[in-house]
Amino acid sequence: MKQTDPHHPHENCLALFERLSEYIDRELDAPTCKDIETHIQACKPCQVCLKTLKQTVALCKHLERRQVPETFSLKLKSAIFDLVDKKAD
């Protein structure tokens, strides 16, 4: 975060901000995860940052999938039928 307070561990917030996705995806090594967890426990804004980003990812993962329109599905299979037919000749 861009902080104005020189006593706040601003660099830690910035370092964490850059790696949050890798942390969520468990793509970081154990010592780095530990550093992040220690920082997050003591930093409320970074907790909010992590939870809002996690929820964003979860929302993407659970987006509803639409059914294929039947008219299109039939058209697609008809186009493939023509190809299969041609290849069989």
Q: Which residues bind other proteins (CB under 8 A)?
A: 1-5, 8, 14, 17-18, 20-22, 25, 27, 44-45, 47-48, 51-69, 72-73, 75-77, 79-80, 83-84, 87-88
Q: What's the CA gap between 88 and 80, in Å, rounded?
A: 12
Q: Which is nearer to other proteins, 1 or 37 (CB)?
A: 1
Torsion of CA 63, 67, 73, 74, to 10 degrees: -170
- C-beta closer to other proteins: residue 31 or 44: 44
Nearer to other proteins, 11 or 87 (CB): 87
Half-sphere exposure of 9 (CA within 13 A, CB side): 15
